Amino acid sequence: MKTKILENTKADIDKAAGILRKGGLVAFPTETVYGLGANAFDEDAVGRVYEAKGRPSDNPMIVHISRASDIGQLTRMLSPDIVTLIENFWPGPLTLVVKKRPEVPYRTTGGLDTVAVRMPDNETALNLISTALCPVAAPSANLSGSPSPTRAQDVIDDLDGRVDAIIRGEDCRVGIESTVVDMTGDVPTILRPGIITADNLEAALGKKVVYDKGLSPEEGAPGEDYKPKSPGMKYKHYAPKAEMIVVEGERSKVKSEIERLKTLNEKLGNNVGVILFEEKAFIEAAHDFFARLRDLDREGVDLILAGALSDTDGVGFAVMNRMLKSAGYNIVRV
């Protein structure tokens, strides 16, 4: 398939919207990561997204809308808590899991009776969705299992020849995917951490928010018997081509252990890349992490040594969720 590389102009966004309306696939920028979009109500189009990404079809998609009120097309469940979160965080990097309307195809929700919805905070994305006149199902625009794409070139590397069009927009402002919160139970439950933190949600709601069990990094890789609520959590994720080790512990020890491992490995003929963010620079870490993984892969390193961030609850925790998965929970504690 020949992929059209489109620019971030009105004429090209109109073209892209036309492709979506006809059942085609378009990759586009959002504030978090690039998404690979299809008409959420078109089962065949959604099926092609799974194919293009090589994604297991029980892993549901996030449906993107351009006006908060369009959530009514997807769900009838609008509790006061849901309305509060929409008012506080949309447009923005927060995805709400709600009960789906019967009209939303099971293809889109991976067979679930719930649907994940968000309104992105990005002009290009909002213009594309509103011009397409349909909600847009969009997982991250990478090949399944590889690091999420935060720059147009990352998308082109993974999906050129596999999708109808890619909009070459700006680099993503946030750099990690949206916070996913399940609003279908009694207690709002975070299924995927992001830059909107549990504290942010609790402050808006005035009530306790919990993490889905299995998200705690101390527990390491989720056990065999753990049945994730968010199906995305059980797959190999974000993995660079290089081997990767996360070094965890007190900052100065982490630094010296990374130096030691680097020297040892280079002596053995390995090319080693290091990812070590400034202490407490969590927002920068979120912004740079996936881009760093992809750049190190482009350089062809054999091994990536990454320093763990010390933050058990906030944005650093969200970055660590990705870092540990990329490394396949390969952790050295010092």
Task: Give the interface with ligand TXA as residue ranges (CB under 6 A).
Answer: 30, 32-33, 35, 59-62, 93, 95, 97, 109, 112, 114-116, 120, 138-140, 177-178, 180, 191-192, 229-232
Per-residue x/- track, 99-138, Mg ion (CB under 5 A): ----------------------------------------
- Please report how close the Cβ of residue 252 comes to Mg ion at its closest, in angstroms: 34
* Identity of the amino acid at 165: A
CA angle (103, 148, 101) in 5-degree steps:
10
Element spanning 49, H or E: helix 43-53
Tokens of 61: 């998609």
User: Of the candidates 140, 146, 179, 200, which one interacts with Mg ion according to CB under 5 A?
Assistant: 140
Q: Which does 61 bind (CB under 5 to 8 A by kind): ligand TXA, Mg ion, none?
A: ligand TXA
Q: Taking contact as CB under 5 A, which single stretch among the options 71-79, 139-147, 199-207, 261-269 is the one that binds Mg ion?
A: 139-147
Contacts of 300 (CB under 8 A, 6+ apart): 271
In whole angstroms, how far apart are CA 133 and each of 44, 136, 188, 304, 327?
18, 9, 30, 43, 40
CA angle (245, 287, 164) in 5-degree steps:
100
Q: Closer to Mg ion by CB, 233 or 247: give it.
A: 233
- Please report how close the Cβ of residue 214 comes to ligand TXA at its closest, in angstroms: 12
Distance CA 190, CA 95 (A): 10
Beta carbons of 248 and 254 less than 8 angstroms apart: yes
User: Is 30 one of the binding residues for Mg ion (CB under 5 A)?
Assistant: no
Distance CA 33, CA 201 (A): 21
The beta-strand segments (E) located in 16-131 are: 26-28, 35-39, 62-64, 94-99, 114-118
DSSP per position, 114-133:
EEEEE--S-HHHHHHHHHHT
Q: Taking contact as CB under 5 A, which single stretch among the options 140-148, 152-160, 246-254, 280-288 is the one that binds Mg ion?
A: 140-148
Q: Which does 112 bind (CB under 5 to 8 A by kind): Mg ion, ligand TXA, none?
A: ligand TXA
User: Is 150 one of the binding residues for Mg ion (CB under 5 A)?
Assistant: no
Q: Which does 105 bind (CB under 5 to 8 A by kind): ligand TXA, Mg ion, none?
A: none
- Give 228's Cβ-side CA count (13 Å radius): 19
For residues 203-222, which are near Mg ion according to CB under 5 A? none
When CB distances to ligand TXA are compared, the closest residue is 232
Q: Which does 326 bind (CB under 5 to 8 A by kind): Mg ion, ligand TXA, none?
A: none
Q: Which does 33 bind (CB under 5 to 8 A by kind): Mg ion, ligand TXA, none?
A: ligand TXA
- Please report how close the Cβ of residue 37 comes to ligand TXA at its closest, in angstroms: 8
Sign, CA dihedral 218-324-314-61, equals: negative
- Please report how close the Cβ of residue 85 comes to ligand TXA at its closest, in angstroms: 15
Q: Closer to ligand TXA by CB, 24 or 139: give it.
A: 139
What is the contact surface with Mg ion in residues (CB under 5 A)?
Answer: 140
